[in-house]
Amino acid sequence: MALLRIQGGSVIDGQITASSAKNSVINLIAAALLADGVVTLSNVPHLRDVSTMIELLSNMGVIVVVNDRMELEIHPNTISSLKAPYELVKTMRASFNVLGPLIARYGEAEVSLPGGCAIGTRPVDQHLKGLRALGADIAMHEGYVKGSVQGRLRGARVVFDFSTVGGTEHLMMAAALAEGVTLLENCAKEPEIIDLANFLNLLGADIRGAGTSQIRIEGAERLDGGAFEAVSDRIEVGTYLIAAAATGGRLEICNAVAEHNSALLEKLREAGAEILTNEGKISLDMQGQRPRAVNIVTGPYPAFPTDLQAQMMTLNCLAEGACSIQETIFENRFMHVPELARMGAEIQLQNNNSVALVKGVGELIGAPVMATDLRASASLVIAGIAASGETTVDRVYHIDRGYQQIEERLQRLGVDIKREAG
């Protein structure tokens, strides 16, 4: 099992270009199943989750061609199986979202219940509630969801019980081929949802209101193929900005959308960073200074993202002062705390482990640590960069799910990091 070995004490300095958003690309691949023609996705990040989606479609008989420019050419009409097996779906939750497109396009599907990071309960009940509202017959048997419909799905009004990103995306895809108008209410507002709507509209869908709490979809009889490039990855952007701030460094990121990270940029300014934004670039400069502690409360977009909570905890561990970090999205997303404590961090958990009280220390000390999920792994890498001595981060397959060639990119920013076989 691979690990990352980091010699600490580096100060991040340089420029990178943001990758396309993993959380968008994997849904675009699922949505390609709706098309009656070839779909081309450009600037696709080389990530484990993307590879899983490609393997899943290939397993169903869909021809997917990847060239050396990381363009995907998807031929959905070559599909030969409507079953998404447990062996693939268990590794990534978002792969469950092929269910709706398969039912909408082919009238039936059999998809394993999902897996993914062990960061708390993330039920699919809102997905299934919505599909049933659209007329799908849904049953569960031996860990699989079987869905079918006579004829086409039918437009309906669906009110989500809570803001669900995956549920909003899933129902948008299914409703794109439904007969009549679908109204989705209490929708999530993430930029990746807008990206999915733009993609589906490019193929011939009629989706309005993405990025607001109400989305209106007028179903089309068919969708064409098309070419599309996903929006940049705001979580990757945020992770590298936090790493630079934690080390007192400076960083310029190209192909970055500042509005997508407004909550983070506000907190980084509060921590003492000088931040400039213009023409698709975000520049951060800490001028060699230690960051100041900042309080964090996670929430649905546009609030502070849960996917950057662990990384900001590492910054706060190194900051001047003390703060609180409240996690409101997932009930089990402080699993990185014991690992940071191994490096000398001072963190106390309260309120049934939903609040972390962090007191900044002068330095962290390198240690062997273990990644528990995707974003926790990024927080440990940041800690290792800033710490004195050597840190090894085990189970880096987590980080490979969401960060493209992380050791190579960090090396170009002045970090002493290398990948080794465990």
Q: What positions carry a catalytic annotation?
A: 117
Q: Which residues pair with 347 in a beta bridge?
A: 358
Q: How far apart are CA 244 and CA 240, in angstroms?
A: 6
SS3 372: coil
List of E strands, 120-202? 137-141, 144-148, 157-159, 181-185
Long-range contacts of residues 305-309, Cβ cutoff 8 Å, at least 24 apart: 305/234, 305/235, 305/238, 305/263, 305/264, 306/330, 306/333, 307/235, 307/238, 307/375, 308/235, 308/238, 308/239, 308/242, 308/264, 308/375, 309/333, 309/375
Can you tell me which residue has the tokens 């990352």?
4
Q: How far apart are CA 152 and CA 134, in angstroms?
A: 9
What is the b/e burial string over 368-393, where b = at least 16 CB atoms within 10 angstroms of the residue's CB? ebbbbbbbbbbbbbbbbbbbeeebbb
